[in-house]
Chain A
Amino acid sequence: MSDTAPVNTRRESKPGKARTSFNEGTARLAAVLLSPTLIVLALVVLYPIVSALRESLYTSGTKLDANGFVVKGSTFVGLDNYAAIFKGDTGHRFWTAFYNTTFFTVTCVVLETVLGVAMALIMHKAFKGRSIVRASILVPWAIPTVVSALLWKWIFQADGIANNILGTQILWSTDGWQAKLSVIVADTWKTAPFIGLLVLAGLQTIPAEVYEAAKVDGASVLQTFRRITLPLVRPALLVAVLFRILDTLRIFDLPFVLVGPHKGSVETLSMLGYDEAFNTRYGPAAAYATVLFLYVAAVAYVFVKLLGADVIGEARAKKPGGGSRRQRKRAAALAAAPQAGLTSVGGGV
């Protein structure tokens, strides 16, 4: 891949200090070793994406010949498959699904983030039997999706345990707010631990000295959390949230299993694409996949731009010193001597 080339060329001009020799050694190694990732991804991802893009410009299998056989071959139709998505009834269905997808993503990710961070803070505390607690928090995430969706379906049955405990007679799988709610509950349960685990790992790279210093300075619990914990776990949290957003935008299994297909209140963009493909209309299905892909990409871009500068930001902050003004300021304020070089935790909170 051409992306690796600059590593070699820029190596020579790299502004130095003590790191020069270090970077020289690593750069050669790294340039070579970055390639496996890109090669693997090109094989298993890039090729399929390109063929889907091509596919979305064709239709096939829509006509029958005189003998009743499906006419073979595919016809180039330009952007017709895309245009069809937004027209008439289909358009109405699309925008409903678009709204549902967005609604699920916002609601679920916000809930999961709050819960996940809370889980991480709890798991981080030292107390007896915490390994058991940590394992139990991970249980929801460890259950195969196939099985957990079925489990929730049973819980939300008309005569299931949910109605039993609540003392209600709600028909959860019928079209309406209750269907949305059941999906949100099940999704949050399943994936909050994912965020929790990643944030926990972030928490554990924070040196204890930082907290000591804050305590010496008389910071309150809340202040410590806002000024120290949050900024320092920020990179890990942002990566976790970003990947949750990407996943939830493509949500399919839960609404499909829990509530069922063709129900307006929970139909998502992925389900529309599925529907087309299920009926062997591969061109339109590819168009849906592409539209969804563009939407996901746009959301991810905005997210990284607004919040996640730190996540990929180091390349932008090219100053040889490593840290921005703010970062240096914080480092000084924290007086965490060995960590002065913490480069990536800046950014504005």
Chain B
Amino acid sequence: MATEMKVKTVPPPEVVRAAEASPLRRWAPLVGVAVIVLYCLAPFYWMAVSAFRRPSDQFSNKIIPAPFSFQNFKDVFSASNGFGRGLLNSLIVAGTVTILTLVIGMVAAYTLARLDFRFKNAVLAIIITTSMFPGISLVIPLLKLFINIKWINTYQAMIVPSLSFALPLAVWNLTAFFRQMPRELEQAAMVDGCTPAQAFRKVIIPLAAPGVFTTAIITFIAAWNEFLIALSMTNKKSIQTANVIISQFTGTTGRDQPFGSQMAAGVVVTIPLVIAVLIFQRRIVAGLTAGGVK
């Protein structure tokens, strides 16, 4: 994804000014921001404080954990869990799925957005149809297949099936974005001597950056959170993803639920995503300038 990053663009100042035009416009969004941030973060906050409680006062309804404890996090990373390795595996699988989805999906989407051919609707329909079948019904025939070709306990056994849910959304979403791009852009690029492929890479992708990076984030999160495929296709600890490891957490005795360590693991698993979003959104913002480039 190095190519499109070269196109640096600056948000036009008009947007900023427009937002500050009147008192209503200035304050109403801030109130809205506060409400929505609160709504989004309150349950997450609850998850975090639950993680920072001692296992012994797991069920307290106190707003602040007292005393503060890292015990749950220690439990999560205890050697017998192999959670660190699970995080790495998750990263490998989700990262590869995201890259593959973007590469394959962008090309397909560009084709669908720019070419008039007779079966375009059919292709789009076929692609989305794959998102309509209960996802569950897809795993077992694949499991059977992967057993036969000895793919069990491999990364590709998790990566390839994950494309099934990642690709349709990526293709549809990117198609919508590429179509927003004026055709004149490529024409201008080709007048300047670009090949069509270059025009796609150097002009369209950077301009569609908000869509591309949004798709990247969504794909990455979906792949990162995938559980079923990862569970079915692996039975060796060293290859299992973080979500599968979490499912194996247990309490200390009998039936007590490891709620604290599950929440701690949830916090640990969510943070890389938030960081990824923070990094990616620079790219999303870059797209603000679609109109700034001619």
The smallest beta-carbon distance between B215 and chain A, in angstroms, is 8
Q: Which residues of B contact A144 (CB under 8 A)?
A: 224-225, 227, 243, 246, 266, 269-270
* Candidates A134, A147, A277; contact of B269 at CB < 8 Å: A147
Residues of A within 8 A of B (CB-CB), count: 122
A64 within 8 A of B: no
Contact B40 A126 (CB under 8 A): no
B interface bracket (residues with beta carbon within 8 Å of A):
35 or more
Contact A10 B116 (CB under 8 A): yes
Q: Which of B196-242 contact A (CB under 8 A)?
A: 196-197, 199-200, 207-208, 210-211, 213-214, 217-218, 221, 224-225, 227
Rounded to whole angstroms, the CA-CA distance of A6 and B121 in the bound complex is: 13
Q: Which of A1-50 contact B (CB under 8 A)?
A: 2-3, 6-7, 10, 14, 18-19, 21-23, 25-27, 29-31, 33-34, 36-38, 40-41, 43-49
Cβ-closest chain A residue relative to B176: A235
**Chain A 309-324 interface 0/1 with B at a Cβ cutoff of 8 Å (1 = within):** 0011011101000100
Give chain A's interface secondary structure class: helix
The smallest beta-carbon distance between B50 and chain A, in angstroms, is 7
Give chain B's interface secondary structure class: helix
Q: Which residues of A contact B172 (CB under 8 A)?
A: 239, 242-243, 311
Cβ-closest chain A residue relative to B286: A204
Contact A29 B173 (CB under 8 A): no
Contact A151 B263 (CB under 8 A): yes
B residues with a Cβ closer than 8 A to A are 11-12, 14-16, 18-19, 25, 29-30, 32-33, 36-37, 39-41, 43-44, 46-47, 50, 59, 61, 104-105, 107-108, 110-142, 160-161, 163-164, 167-169, 171-173, 175-177, 179-184, 186-187, 190, 195-197, 199-200, 207-208, 210-211, 213-214, 217-218, 221, 224-225, 227, 243, 246-247, 259, 262-263, 265-266, 269-270, 273-274, 277-278, 281, 284-285, 287-288, 290-292, 294
A residues with a Cβ closer than 8 A to B are 2-3, 6-7, 10, 14, 18-19, 21-23, 25-27, 29-31, 33-34, 36-38, 40-41, 43-49, 51-52, 115, 118-119, 121-122, 125-127, 131, 133-148, 150-152, 154-155, 159-161, 164, 189, 193-194, 197-198, 200-202, 204-212, 215, 221, 235-236, 238-240, 242-243, 246, 250, 270, 273-274, 277, 286, 289, 292-293, 296-297, 300, 311-312, 314-316, 318, 322, 336, 338-345
